[in-house]
Structure 1
Amino acid sequence: MISKKVLQVFLIPSVVLISFASAYAGLPKVVVLGTGGTIQSKGDTRMTRYDYRAGRFDISEIIDLIPQVKKIAELEAEQFTNIGSPSMTPDIWKSLAERINETALRSDVSGFVLTHGTNTLEETAYFLHLTVQTDKPVVIVGAQRPSTSISADGPMNFYNAVQVAASPEARDKGVLICMNQQINSAREGTKTSAYKVEAFQSRDLGLLGVVDPDGVHFLRAPVRRHTYLSEFDVSDISSFPRIDVVPSFADAAGDLITFLASAGAEGIVLAGHGAGGASPAQGEAFKTATSNGVIAIACSRTGSGRVIESSRMLEYGLIAGDNLLPHKARILLMLAIASGKSERSELIRIFDQY
């Protein structure tokens, strides 16, 4: 049941917006966009912690489970989509960015919270980090356990995410990931555990801040370009190029690279061993692919450390991906090509600035 504190329902095509009036006047307004995932899931029993179906709760039901949240912010909720995170696509990311950009123009909105499945949460977060044109907080939150599970983590994660979105201290910090009382940047934050509730970390640089019992506290701020400082405008993008990710390992063949290039990939990101290394066979395949116009980025499969340009990379036609994880380098390359920036010098600049 929707709370009796609901003031009004706004109907727009295929979307229902629900405004939750708080018992306290003058609170910041936070727009909540539900996209599904474990945080909006129900298990068959209270012991069900995997093998459940994502997105069986509506976002209004999640908010009703946590009435305390209405004491810290006025919430306006929308079930934007309700899917498992592996079903996310660049077109959905674009629609989310457009919705946030449009809504952020409203003077009454202080920040945003997006619920999301954790498996690809960091990819959605990084896309928005590069395309949302506002300094207002955009906080993405998920859960490792369904809301019906014993010791479910979703309710507290959601409460903390609203705290962050409502905090003036969270402005100008780009898109944030908030789980397990920790705040990570969308650029560095990544899922590091399949089942533990402390699922997200920023391995190289550490978290940005924490949500403790006495409130939201930031310890550092991102310095790379993001959100309103980004050059990427999704309103100018009509389609996205195919970008694939290829792992390297001992004695890896180059056949997959050759196949992807022939199948229409405009870019390939190497999840290389060590500091972005490729096997000899992969190197030869990259030489051929890049000479035929495919753009190739070298990242590390280690999850930590920078990849810098080397003579071997130049020989293979690879561009260094800095310390971006391979799946995030894919997103940056995708946006760069979609925005008409595919010259090598331009891409080197972009991977240096973002």
Structure 2
Amino acid sequence: MNERFFQLGTALRALAVVAWIGLGAPSVHAQVAVTKPQVVVLATGGTIAGAGAAATNSASYQAAKVPVDKLIAGVPELADVAQVRGEQVFQIASESFTNEKLVQLGKRVSQLVRDPAVNGIVITHGTDTLEETAFFLNLVIRSDKPVVVVGSMRPGTAMSADGMLNLYNAVVVAADPASRGKGVLVAMSDEIHSGRDVAKRINIKTSAFGSQWGPLGMSVEGKTFWFRLPAKRHTVNSEFDIESIETLPEVAIVYGYGNMTTELYDAALRSGAKAVVNAGTGNGSVPNYAVEKLKSVRAQGVQVIRSSRVADGFVIRNAEQPDDKYDWVVAHDLNPQKAKILAAVALTRGVSSQDLQRIFWEY
């Protein structure tokens, strides 16, 4: 009899536990589910923080007006993705970025990724120089944690503003463990691009950013989808480290065009440039009347880098000009502004022209 009562009591207790769970008792799974990744949003200004006088002002507005807390509060859905907090690093339009600001931003990102509690970083940025900042961070941040740069082409006050969704997607990418180890990323217009490859290609469309080698993936309805991986060295595999960089040397870009004046190279030298990027026509071409001037530039210890003003393709070494003979470097597939960033970072180590060419092949 006692054994039957014991069995009955055990069964009743089991039923009570089942009922308690059914009424909403927190399960172990539920407790784990509420722990969301921590994402820090570093705001630098730009159109994504801009405001216009009317909803129809999508191209004429004031950039860098909205503080980071309001940006985050404007996208309440972020709370479903991650624990998000913001920091206002700068409040500027991105054409006003300087080398000093690049270094300052890089050092703050480096501090944050070393924090075990931080899972990812989002940087809101103006679109004009967004690609340069993304590439710089891709070279100097020694971490596999996701760092995602994001902007918008329209201010939040405009009809069909793109900033809210771009910011949401950027946080989704930064919070996703699958984003680790892919280098610094750019999230724009639902696409996920490598910070190394991406470029702003048009100034009046929300689909302004693209990569000639294509996006790495897409962000759709709160999920990331990946299709390729970056092949070039970056972040944890980079030989560069923001912790050892205090200043960046001056690198000048001289734009090539028909009947160009060679005095532009002289101006670059007077500015103290340690390297000159020749944004040449076609295959990084140098006009015959400018060859001697560029040879003179190199003879003065200044690196000469042949890039191209053409949006896509790459510069072939020893084609158009005998680069080996003149001790010049080619930028390969990097556009002039990306070549400028890589040259500046590389020259913090005082590299030779041979080593600089290796760096352009590898990064």
Task: Kindly indicate whether the alpha-carbon contact (under 8 Å) linking 2:43 and 2:124 is maintained by their aligned counterparts in 1.
Answer: yes
Aligned pairs for 1:132-211 within 5 A:
132-203=141-212, 205-211=213-219
Q: Deviations over 1:33-73 (max 9, x none)?
A: 00000001111111111232111111110111111111111
- Which 10-residue stretch deviates more, 105-114 or 148-157? 105-114
Q: Choose the corresponding residue for 1:31, options 35, 40, 60.
A: 40
Question: Aligned partner of 2:323: which letter?
Answer: M
Task: Kindly indicate whether the alpha-carbon contact (under 8 Å) linking 1:38 and 1:142 is maintained by their aligned counterparts in 2.
Answer: yes
Question: Aligned partner of 2:157: which letter?
Answer: T
Consecutive unaligned residues in structure 1, runs of 5 or more: 1-23
Task: Kindly indicate whether the alpha-carbon contact (under 8 Å) linking 2:253 and 2:277 is maintained by their aligned counterparts in 1.
Answer: yes
> Which secondary structure does the structure 1 equivalent of 2:323 belong to?
helix
Among the aligned pairs, what percent are the same residue? 38
Q: Deviations over 1:50-103 (max 9, x none)?
A: 232111111110111111111111002111111100111111111111111111
Task: Kindly indicate whether the alpha-carbon contact (under 8 Å) linking 1:66 and 1:155 is maintained by their aligned counterparts in 2.
Answer: yes
Alignment partners' CA distance in 2, 1:80 and 1:86: 16
Counterpart in 2 of 1:237? Answer: 245
Question: Aligned partner of 1:131: which letter?
Answer: V
Q: Give 1:163 shift.
A: 0.5
Q: Give 1:140 shift.
A: 0.5
Alignment partners' CA distance in 1, 2:349 and 2:45: 29
> Which secondary structure does the structure 2 equivalent of 1:98 belong to?
helix
Q: Give 1:276 shift.
A: 1.1
**Aligned-CA RMSD value:** 1.3
Alignment partners' CA distance in 1, 2:155 and 2:218: 23
- Relative to 1, partners in 2 of residues 1:177 and 1:241: Cα closer, same or farther, differing over 3 Å? same
Question: Aligned partner of 1:313: which letter?
Answer: D
Q: Tell whether 2:57 aligns with 1:57.
A: no
Counterpart in 2 of 1:324? Answer: 334
Aligned pairs for 1:270-281 within 5 A:
270-281=278-289
Counterpart in 2 of 1:340? Answer: 350
> Which secondary structure does the structure 2 equivalent of 1:109 belong to?
coil
> Which secondary structure does the structure 1 equivalent of 2:91 belong to?
coil
Counterpart in 2 of 1:96? Answer: 105
- Which 10-residue stretch deviates more, 156-165 or 229-238? 229-238
Q: Give 1:107 shift.
A: 1.6
Task: Kindly indicate whether the alpha-carbon contact (under 8 Å) linking 2:147 and 2:183 is maintained by their aligned counterparts in 1.
Answer: yes
Computing the radius of gyration from Cα coordinates, the structure with the larger value is 2
Q: Give 1:214 shift.
A: 6.1
Task: Kindly indicate whether the alpha-carbon contact (under 8 Å) linking 1:320 and 1:348 is maintained by their aligned counterparts in 2.
Answer: yes
Q: Choose the corresponding residue for 2:269, options 245, 261, 272.
A: 261
Question: Aligned partner of 1:31: which letter?
Answer: V
- Relative to 1, partners in 2 of residues 1:68 and 1:214: Cα closer, same or farther, differing over 3 Å? closer
Question: Aligned partner of 2:226: which letter?
Answer: F
Alignment partners' CA distance in 2, 1:133 and 1:46: 42
Alignment partners' CA distance in 2, 1:347 and 1:229: 17
Consecutive unaligned residues in structure 2, runs of 5 or more: 1-32
Counterpart in 2 of 1:45? Answer: 54
Q: Give 1:317 shift.
A: 3.7
Task: Kindly indicate whether the alpha-carbon contact (under 8 Å) linking 1:138 and 1:176 is maintained by their aligned counterparts in 2.
Answer: yes
Question: Aligned partner of 2:193: which letter?
Answer: N
Whose helix fraction is larger, Structure 1's or Structure 2's? 2
> Which secondary structure does the structure 2 equivalent of 1:55 belong to?
coil
Q: Deviations over 1:197-225 (max 9, x none)?
A: 0010002x111101122610011011111
Question: Aligned partner of 1:164: which letter?
Answer: V
Report how many residues are paired: 329
Counterpart in 1 of 2:323? Answer: 313
Alignment partners' CA distance in 1, 2:291 and 2:107: 39
Q: Deviations over 1:83-140 (max 9, x none)?
A: 1001111111111111111111122211110000001100111110101111001001
> Which secondary structure does the structure 1 equivalent of 2:90 belong to?
coil
Alignment partners' CA distance in 1, 2:261 and 2:150: 39
Counterpart in 2 of 1:6? Answer: none
Counterpart in 1 of 2:3? Answer: none
Task: Kindly indicate whether the alpha-carbon contact (under 8 Å) linking 2:103 and 2:247 is maintained by their aligned counterparts in 1.
Answer: no
Counterpart in 1 of 2:256? Answer: 248
Task: Kindly indicate whether the alpha-carbon contact (under 8 Å) linking 2:169 and 2:222 is maintained by their aligned counterparts in 1.
Answer: no
Alignment partners' CA distance in 2, 1:200 and 1:347: 28
- Relative to 1, partners in 2 of residues 1:233 and 1:214: Cα closer, same or farther, differing over 3 Å? closer
Task: Kindly indicate whether the alpha-carbon contact (under 8 Å) linking 2:110 and 2:242 is maintained by their aligned counterparts in 1.
Answer: no
TM-score (norm 1): 0.90
Alignment partners' CA distance in 1, 2:225 and 2:70: 29
Question: Aligned partner of 1:149: which letter?
Answer: A
Alignment partners' CA distance in 2, 1:263 and 1:216: 45
Q: Choose the corresponding residue for 1:224, options 232, 250, 255.
A: 232
Alignment partners' CA distance in 2, 1:214 and 1:307: 39
Alignment partners' CA distance in 1, 2:106 and 2:246: 14
